[in-house]
Amino acid sequence: MADRSLRGMRLGAQSLQSEDGVTFSPRVSHTYLCATCARETVMIFSAEAEAPDEWECRFCSQTATRLVDSKPVIVDHSDEKVPRTHWDMLLERRTRAELEELLEERLTFLRARRGQQKIGA
């Protein structure tokens, strides 16, 4: 009898849940325009969520800008920090003349050590 209760049903292929009584949250669609490929991408967000001003273009993976009243939003990047390199941090601690002096000292030491190595077996 238990074999007959699942007859005609593919296990795992269909859900037995229904959407009765389910209320979906309100949604808003925002359009993003890519400056590289000139294509528009429409993204759907929750009405409560704040839409980002930039989104990755789904066609060319470049940065697309959100359109408001058919015009792109102006994105302010002035507050973003520029990543510092090791060289930039080194120049904060030492001058170029000090670095050249340290390099010469190190090269002299290495050249002297190379001359002291034993040659042969």
> Which residues form the domain of 106?
84-116
Residues 32 and 62 in one domain: yes
- The answer to whether residues 16 and 39 touch, using CB atoms and an 8 Å cutoff, is no
The 8-class DSSP code of residue 109 comes to H
Report pLDDT for 105.
95
The pLDDT tens digits for 55-71 are 999 889 899 999 998 88
Residues 32 and 64 in one domain: yes
The pLDDT tens digits for 76-102 are 878 888 889 999 999 999 999 999 999
Whether residue 117 is predicted with pLDDT greater than 80 in this model: the reply is no
Residue 41 in any domain: the answer is: yes
Residue 19 in any domain: the answer is: no
Count of domains for the chain: 2
The pLDDT tens digits for 20-38 are 888 888 999 999 999 899 9
Residue 50 in any domain: the answer is: yes
pTM to 2 decimal places:
0.52
Class of residue 34 by CB neighbours under 10 A (exposed 0-12, middle 13-18, buried 19+):
buried
